A and B are shown apart, each in its own frame.
Chain A
Amino acid sequence: MEKRVTFSRWTIGILFAVPQLLLIFTFFYWPAGQAVYWSLTLQQPWGGGNIWVGLDNFRSILSSADYWNSITASLVFAAISTGLAMFIALVLAALTDRQLAGSRFYRVVLIWPYGIAAPALALAFRFILAPEAGFLAVVNRMWPGIWDPGLDGADAMASIIAAFSWKYVGYNFIFFLAAFQAIPRSLIEAAAMDGSGVLRRFWDIQFPLITPTIFFLLVINITESFQDSFGIVDIMTSGGPANATNLMVYKIYSDGFKGLDYSGAAAQSIILMLLIVVLTIFQFRFIERRVHYR
């Protein structure tokens, strides 16, 4: 007979689940519920009272050109930085996996960027990309005025994308390398003996076998690019110039905490949450079909 641990009464099961449920309730459902409530009211910042306004907050946000600009900027940022971070990490991991000279060293070093806090990283990039005194000042000496993140929105966007991608290359690298190393050597060696080159082995064997990892990282990277970009934007551009880098998450912060418009910020965070949910559902629905789990 098979031995099974069972509980005589379902209440005991519930009891075991209670701590976890409490945690989720306290740190997710309660604040999220509060945000929904705030988004439907006008809150006085000092807590003096509020007025029920229904969907007015959403209406005023969605009719503001600045907000649509912020959504566009966020999507551009998400697409380019995710693409860059994943592509570079994939190439680096593939090369490290080939056991080239020094690959043990790279295996350790390439993970570090992810360990750096976003504001510290942003500060470093601010110095590197400063148009007058940084490393890129050379470019400006040759072609004056070509690099100007202070006034040129595209340059500023490029700066924050560079900083964010740099950080997530480290994160993606860990997963890609682990995925590559999980592929049995014998497969690759057999292919090599059959005379297929490095690129052919990559496309026909390695790439299909790591699609689950690629899919996982795609979801994570896109989600994080909407949320983890805050520290970088805050230090590097403060959303400027002329709102070019005013990503959704930064706008929530500046409207809510600097502008003390708690209701508008709550409505914006609901929209951001919905957007991320929709994007994630989309990815699971359409991209996951191409993933081979085994």
Chain B
Amino acid sequence: MTIIKRGFAALAAGALSTALAMPAFAEPVKFDFWFGLSGDLARVVDTLCKNFNASQSDYEVVCTSQGNYDATLQNTIAAFRAGKQPAIVQVYDVGTATMMLSGAYKPADKLMEENGYKIDYADYFPGIARYYATSKGEMLSFPFNSSTALMYWNKDAFAKIGKTEAPKTWEDVGADLQAMKDAGYDCPMAINISANESWQLMEQFSALHNQPIATKNNGYDGLDARLEVNKTKFVQYVTDLKKWYDAGLIKIKSKDLGQDMVQAFASGTCQVIMTSVGDHGTVGKTQKEGMNWDVAELPVYAGTERKNSLVGGASLWVLSGKSDAEYKGAAAFLNFIHDPKTALFWSTNTGYIPVTKSGFEYMKSNGFYDKAPYKGRETAIASLTASEPTDITRGIRLGNFTQIRAEFGTQMQAIFANKVSVQEGLDTLVKNGDAILDRFQQTYPGKTLP
């Protein structure tokens, strides 16, 4: 008994003296990082966190997956209201406007400056940086996982109709799909029309054609922006998609129906899809044996001057109300993520693209894009950097955009089920979307976007 007691006393004294004598071995400062990826991607993030913790001994990041982007934002808001928010949180692209008005963050550029890190913001691909930057160009958050939409095409099917290249215009796409149908392909192209596909069908299309989604430069210049997709080239696009769907050239594929687009393409059932570069790895891993396929930039209508496509994904926000020590750790973590070597690790293990020019160059010099499984992913960079971002192709800065996407899904479903005409459906989308924007503006009276 006494021995044990003495042992404890000795241990305690020893621990105390070590703590006093050697502050270098002090417990590392812990801070939380919440993210919205799950499955394989979550494991990659966990490895990233482990690598950071192993790279130094002052800080320890605790990384927690919240399942998906929506849940991450909801949980973070709940935690913030209770004063238990994480230091860093991953917020998806369309949550940017909501975050900017939240008053709940610490600007990322200030954080880095205060902690003595020099970040060259010009190093970010402009298409990526502008999406997350304020209208004055300040970076409030750090771009993290980024992607853009590409067209995946089955080379074998196109070879059958005598084509060796992916179609570059929508006019060619229409002709090619018809030719494939005539050649006996049951599903020349697959799309889906839920809220999620607003990204490739409406947002990417509008950016590539330099068409606005909303007034006030897609919302960058004020909360009083309102939708206007019912009077842009987008109307013609939806009309064409519907026409091709009615002609049996396009099939709708979704998980609810048994097979999603990516599965339909990888299994050789459907010959063309439009989806994120992030699915490049999945298609490669799950494709039918011996199938030849490639990716290309999304087509545009003939005579269009192609602009840059939009970035998709999420950025990292540092929340307010944490201690200086935690902010130091957060800054170190963001700096670690910014490193080109991390970019290589991140892109190798996921389908995401590097967000900085130096990261891209580093990967190129390592021969990343020459090897078979990764070859083709550089198309995403080409698409993102097709032009200098215009006022419209910077991105979308609309409040509650998640709800507008949901409304997009609803109206597209009504259009494709022949409940309403294309124009009626898009008019309703604008009307209901404007109600959402109006409500958002009312919730933040007198506030302006930074």
Query: Which of B383-412 touch A at CB < 8 Å?
Result: 400, 402-403, 406, 409-411
Question: Which of A113-121, A128-136, A194-202, A284-292 lies at the interface with chain B?
Answer: A128-136
Contact present for A242 and B417 (CB under 8 Å): yes
Verify if B337 is at the interface (C-beta below 8 Å from A).
no
Verify if B179 is at the interface (C-beta below 8 Å from A).
no
Question: Once bound together, how far apart are the Cα atoms of A213 and B77, in whole Å?
Answer: 44
Q: Which applies to chain B's interface (DSSP): helix, strand, loop or mixed?
A: helix
A-B contact pairs, 11 of them (CB 8 A): A44-B101, A45-B98, A48-B103, A60-B435, A137-B258, A240-B410, A254-B403, A257-B74, A259-B402, A261-B400, A263-B443
CB distance from B195 to the nearest CB of A (A): 8
Question: Which of B214-222, B249-257, B296-304 lies at the interface with chain A?
Answer: B249-257
Q: Which of B74, B101, B413 contacts A151 (CB 8 A)?
A: B413
Q: Which residue of chain A is the closest to B82 with respect to CB atoms?
A: A47
Verify if A89 is at the interface (C-beta below 8 Å from B).
no
Verify if B445 is at the interface (C-beta below 8 Å from A).
yes
Query: Which of B256-274 touch A at CB < 8 Å?
Result: 256-259
Contact present for B400 and A150 (CB under 8 Å): no
Verify if A252 is at the interface (C-beta below 8 Å from B).
no
Question: Once bound together, how far apart are the Cα atoms of A151 and B413, in whole Å?
Answer: 6
CB distance from A275 to the nearest CB of B (A): 23
Contact present for A261 and B439 (CB under 8 Å): yes
**C-beta contact mask, A243-258 vs B, less than 8 Å → 1, else 0?**
1000000000011011
Question: Once bound together, how far apart are the Cα atoms of A44 and B435, in whole Å?
Answer: 17
Contact present for A258 and B403 (CB under 8 Å): yes
Q: Which residue of chain B is the closest to A53 with respect to CB atoms?
A: B442
Indicate the member of A51, A53, A127, A259 with the most B CB atoms within 10 Å. A259
Verify if A43 is at the interface (C-beta below 8 Å from B).
yes
Known: A45-B77, A255-B403, A260-B77. A240 touches B257 (CB 8 A): no
Instruction: List B contacts of A236 (CB < 8 A).
Output: 256
**C-beta contact mask, B356-400 vs A, less than 8 Å → 1, else 0?**
000000000000000000000000000000000000000000001
Contact present for A258 and B77 (CB under 8 Å): no
Q: Which of A44, A47, A130 contacts B256 (CB 8 A)?
A: A130
Contact present for A44 and B402 (CB under 8 Å): no
Known: A44-B444, A66-B432, A258-B402. A152 touches B410 (CB 8 A): no
Give B residues with C-beta under 8 Å from A: 70, 73-74, 77, 80-81, 98, 101-104, 194-195, 252, 254, 256-259, 400, 402-403, 406, 409-411, 413-414, 416-417, 419, 432, 435-436, 439, 442-445
Instruction: List B contacts of A170 (CB < 8 A).
Output: none
Contact present for B439 and A242 (CB under 8 Å): no
Contact present for A45 and B102 (CB under 8 Å): yes
CB distance from A223 to the nearest CB of B (A): 26
Query: Which of A143-157 touch B at CB < 8 Å?
Result: 149-153
Question: Once bound together, how far apart are the Cα atoms of A47 and B102, in whole Å?
Answer: 8
Interface residue total, chain A, C-beta cutoff 8 A: 41
Contact present for A260 and B252 (CB under 8 Å): no
Known: A150-B252, A242-B410, A258-B70. A130 touches B257 (CB 8 A): yes
Question: Once bound together, how far apart are the Cα atoms of A241 and B435, in whole Å?
Answer: 21
Instruction: List A contacts of B81 (CB < 8 A).
Output: 46-47
Question: Once bound together, how far apart are the Cα atoms of A257 and B74, in whole Å?
Answer: 6
Question: Once bound together, how far apart are the Cα atoms of A41 and B436, in whole Å?
Answer: 16
Known: A44-B444, A258-B70. A237 touches B402 (CB 8 A): no
Question: Once bound together, how far apart are the Cα atoms of A130 and B259, in whole Å?
Answer: 9
CB distance from A247 to the nearest CB of B (A): 14
Task: Knowing that A44-B102, A51-B443 touch, tell me 10 more A-B residue pairs with CB under 8 angstroms.
Answer: A46-B80, A47-B81, A48-B102, A60-B439, A127-B258, A151-B413, A259-B402, A260-B98, A261-B400, A264-B439
Q: Which of A42, A51, A243, A259 contacts B436 (CB 8 A)?
A: A259
Contact present for A151 and B77 (CB under 8 Å): no
Give A residues with C-beta under 8 Å from B: 42-48, 51, 53, 60, 64, 66, 126-127, 130-134, 137, 149-153, 236-238, 240-243, 254-255, 257-261, 263-264
Q: Which of B102, B256, B414, B439 contacts A150 (CB 8 A)?
A: B256
Question: Once bound together, how far apart are the Cα atoms of A15 and B278, in whole Å?
Answer: 61
Instruction: List B contacts of A43 (CB < 8 A).
Output: 443
Instruction: List B contacts of A45 (CB < 8 A).
Output: 77, 98, 102
Contact present for B445 and A242 (CB under 8 Å): no
Contact present for A149 and B256 (CB under 8 Å): yes
Instruction: List B contacts of A258 (CB < 8 A).
Output: 70, 402-403, 406
Contact present for B406 and A254 (CB under 8 Å): yes
Q: Which residue of chain B is the closest to A263 with respect to CB atoms?
A: B443
Instruction: List B contacts of A263 (CB < 8 A).
Output: 443
CB distance from A276 to the nearest CB of B (A): 25
Contact present for B103 and A46 (CB under 8 Å): yes
Question: Once bound together, how far apart are the Cα atoms of A238 and B400, in whole Å?
Answer: 18
CB distance from A259 to the nearest CB of B (A): 4
CB distance from A159 to the nearest CB of B (A): 9
Question: Once bound together, how far apart are the Cα atoms of A47 and B406, in whole Å?
Answer: 24
Contact present for B77 and A132 (CB under 8 Å): no
CB distance from B199 to the nearest CB of A (A): 16
Question: Once bound together, how far apart are the Cα atoms of A43 and B194, in whole Å?
Answer: 28
CB distance from B407 to the nearest CB of A (A): 9
Q: Which residue of chain B is the closest to A237 with respect to CB atoms?
A: B256
Instruction: List A contacts of B416 (CB < 8 A).
Output: 151
Contact present for B443 and A42 (CB under 8 Å): yes
Q: Which of B70, B80, B252 contacts A47 (CB 8 A)?
A: B80
Q: Which residue of chain B is the closest to A44 with respect to CB atoms?
A: B443
